Amino acid sequence: MTSIYQHFRSDERDFIDQVLEWRSYVETNYAPKLTDFLDPRQQRILISIIGQHHEVKYSLFPESEQVERKRVLIYPDYYIPLQDDYNVALYKLNYPEKFIRLEHRQILGSILSLGIKREKFGDIILNQPVIQFMVAEEVSHYVQMHLNQIGKNKVSLDRVAFDHLIQSEEKWREKVSTVSSLRLDVIISSIYNISRQKAKDFITGGIVKVNWRNVEQVSFDVEEGDVLSVRGLGRSKLLSIEGRTKKEKWRIIAGLLN
């Protein structure tokens, strides 16, 4: 079983063990297992481990490609999942939209301040002035009761059906470039068009995240599908690694969030 770890990063071992436990639970109990909200990297790991398994299946919700964080249902091959199995509640945020503009970070901070763990809520989707977000059903009533203020602004929540899920106003712009290596400092320098030294300073300064986790190692290897963020410069994604050029450089395609 140790060979499975070779395909992933060393700091992902705990999550790999968790996925193996979930799979074992489904195999042993012949019953479905629902995860918390997983980020795209975690989803990729889970799919890699369970994807080729014949007796254990998986499905993700919401199915929309624009949604990043999803709950995953792992289930035996006889089971037919229903939407209610995923236990996801979708809320619309009511606020004085004529007078203020709420940002993603403000909403995120307010939900976290309620003591809700990050894995218990999903995407916050903005298409101004409409704002929606998803939470796990098991904490939905608590959130609806206690999320009544963001900053100094009074807010309220309306639960809505997933038929009314909005499209995010966020748009990704593709950027094609060549890099000498897939080290984090090199990738950050290329994507954000800053010097290599500045990229190193940002990384060691603790303002760079890879897949929503702080990374302070400049030599960290970035992989296809990784989501990057630099505080103050925004979010990006390594969409694909196209191979090497004749000069032995990597050709990459990145997405930058406008």
Mean pLDDT along residues 111-137: 96
Q: How many domains does the chain have?
A: 3
Of 51-65, 108-122, 153-167, 222-236, where does mean pLDDT reach its minimum?
Answer: 51-65
Domain CATH code at residue 97? 3.30.70.330
Given a contact cutoff of 8 angstroms between Cβ atoms, the answer to whether 76 and 58 are in contact is no
40, 58, 80 — which closes off a domain?
80
- Structure confidence at residue 117 (pLDDT): 95
148, 164, 180 — which closes off a domain?
164
Domain CATH code at residue 237? 3.10.290.10
Domain CATH code at residue 24? 3.30.1370.160
Work out the number of other CB atoms within 10 angstroms of the CB of residue 81.
15
Regarding whether 159 and 134 lie in a shared domain, the answer is yes
Regarding whether 67 and 97 lie in a shared domain, the answer is no
For residue 222, what pLDDT band results from cuts at 50, 70 and 90? very high
Q: Specify the pTM.
A: 0.86
Q: What is the pLDDT of residues 3-50, one digit of tens each?
A: 788 888 888 999 999 999 999 999 999 999 999 999 999 999 999 999
Regarding whether 68 and 22 lie in a shared domain, the answer is yes
DSSP of 158-171, one letter per residue?
EEE-GGGPPPPS--
Domain coverage including residue 32: 2-80
Sign of the Cα torsion 201, 206, 207, 210 reads positive
Q: What is the pLDDT of residues 94-111, one digit of tens each?
A: 999 999 999 988 999 999
Q: What is the pLDDT of residues 231-251, one digit of tens each?
A: 999 999 999 999 999 999 999
